[in-house]
Amino acid sequence: MTFKGNILSAAHYAAARALLADPLTNKGTAFSEAERDRYHLHGLLPPHVGTLESQIARRRRVMEAMGSDFQRYAFLRELQDSNEVLFHALVQSDLPRMLPLVYTPTVGEGCERFSEIWRRPRGLFLSWPNRDHMADILDDTAFDRVKVIVVSDGERILGLGDQGAGGMGIPIGKLALYTACAGIHPSEVLPILLDVGTDNEARREDPLYVGWRAPRVRGADYDAFVEQFVTLVAKRFPHALLQWEDFAGKNAYDLLGRYRHRLLSFNDDIQGTAATTVGTLLAAIRRSGAALADQRVVLFGAGAAGSGVAEMLVQALMAEGLSQSEARARLWAVDREGLILTEMAQRPEGLPPQQVALARAREGGMADKMDLLATVRHVRPTVLIGASGQKGAFDEAVVRAMAEQVERPVIFPLSNPISRAEAHPADLLAWSEGRAIVGTGSPFGVAGVTQVNNVYIFPGVGLGALACGAREVSDGMFMAAARCLGQLGGDGEGLLPPIESLRDVALAIAIAVADQAQSEGLAMARPEHYTPEAIAARMWQPNYR
């Protein structure tokens, strides 16, 4: 069809509506008069021509008038699905305010209620019933620019357990942080949910549930499904980074070990949490005036996150000159059955593989069952780290027993969301007479308390690995990230740089990671591609074209 006087063809109308419907091209009221003429947008938009700044102010006013953070989370998700530039510009305009709404702690409720607020497609649901179509699904040309993939199977969402398809909220949220902090372009990220069912009956029986309504596929079938996925990703996205996220403990370790050398990938729950925790601990110890080698560390929770922290601590201690046995002698791991002892490996059920190296021989003076309080009294730890998902586990008796023996106890209740935190930081400060150095997994808004959030690590690791063309993400690269974070310093009260400077943090860590990859012979790109200036130039800023 062609123009007939002032009448536009159906094709022009369709093109105009497509432009407004695509979140990567939609500018809303910020389309100029010339653009409205060119793309035939008059009438589809109100006559006011706005700016990105005025749009941020408008969305901010609406958002702040809402009655709950979950409503704000849903509002931001809708905005992301309608206008990517505006969404990311709003997030970056006030990172301290926006990050808790985009990710932890609000994303926990977002995952639990994901089916209520699902509106438009974002990312991919690769489900068990459609496994034979996986290659066709991934072959969509819309994904040709993808550089970062975050994938979950929804089984261990934060401390909330199995959320099935609702776990998609985690990859979406993580990738929003990749853009906000590392400047990865929105067209270059892809959230994926491996929907192999859910064992959460409440989700399966919910009439609004959007996932596959079946118990979880496990065993050999599950392994074959993931193998199919990895094989296709390696073929379709040979230069992309894949981040494993919120898989249950055994699967998390198995998948990391199986695939970390086959494609550029890492597990944020294991490696990202470890690097963030160790980096923050290095900063805390520097503040306390002690040496890392002199610390006695109790880890409460020895799943994927806790075990990952333990292994990186061992490596950090060995770098201080300790032998492996000396390093492990400074760690005590407590799980649901108490202090992990070597004798537990002799039981029929044994110990999970990641806990075997954490087990200690029984010592004189130990009770039959060493719960957390008994362990604290026996060990007199200088550092207490929680990755258990057990709300209130760091109670007054535990904290006072620790503070009686240590002048500046370091206490990190890291479990997310807030409803699963081992303690409230205000209580920790009160029970220690204000002497504790406190770091939390979620933001509590307590002065002097640092949020030990993986957002300080994973965006920079991903950016650095991509910039240098790394063949794999090594333990040394994560240690370099941890040491870089520990040296960046806080703002006087906190142990880490303020949230406002997360893009600077990501750049610094990316440089450290790329340098480490080069030293290990893992960097495939030419050195001029990952100088500090070249990495900074890769970081996208949300501005309208």
Measured from the Cβ of residue 408, the count of other Cβ atoms closer than 10 Å reads 16
pLDDT at 346 over 90: no
- The arrangement of secondary structure in 95-263, i.e. its CATH architecture, is 3-Layer(aba) Sandwich (3.40)
pLDDT at 3 over 70: no
Asked if 10-91 and 95-263 have one fold, the answer is no
H or E element in which residue 178 lies: helix 169-182
- pLDDT tens for each residue of 487-526: 997 666 789 999 999 999 999 999 999 999 999 999 999 9
Q: What percent of the chain has pLDDT over 90?
A: 89
Could you tell me if 333 and 379 are in contact, meaning their C-beta atoms sit under 8 angstroms apart?
Answer: no
Q: Report domain extents, the chain.
A: 10-91, 95-263, 271-452, 459-538
Binding residue per annotation — 258? no
156 annotated as a binding-site residue: yes
**94 annotated to a ligand binding site:** no
Position 1 scores a pLDDT of 34
Which whole number is the average pLDDT over 89-108?
A: 96
> Considering the chain, what is the average pLDDT of its residues?
95
CATH number of 10-91: 1.20.1370.30
6 vs 66 pLDDT, higher one = 66
What does the pLDDT read at residue 491? 63
**Range list of β-strands (E), 236-366:** 241-244, 265-267, 297-300, 331-335, 338-339
Do 518 and 526 touch, CB atoms closer than 8 A? no
Residue 8 has pLDDT above 90, yes or no: no
What's the pLDDT score for residue 289?
Answer: 84
* List of E strands, 110-264: 124-127, 148-152, 189-195, 241-244
For residue 539, how many C-alpha atoms fall within 13 Å in the half-sphere facing its CB? 26
What amino acid positions are annotated as catalytic residues? 103, 174
416 is in an annotated binding site: yes
Q: Would the annotation count 69 as a binding residue?
A: no
CATH architecture assignment, domain 271-452: 3-Layer(aba) Sandwich (3.40)
| 245 marked among binding-site residues | yes
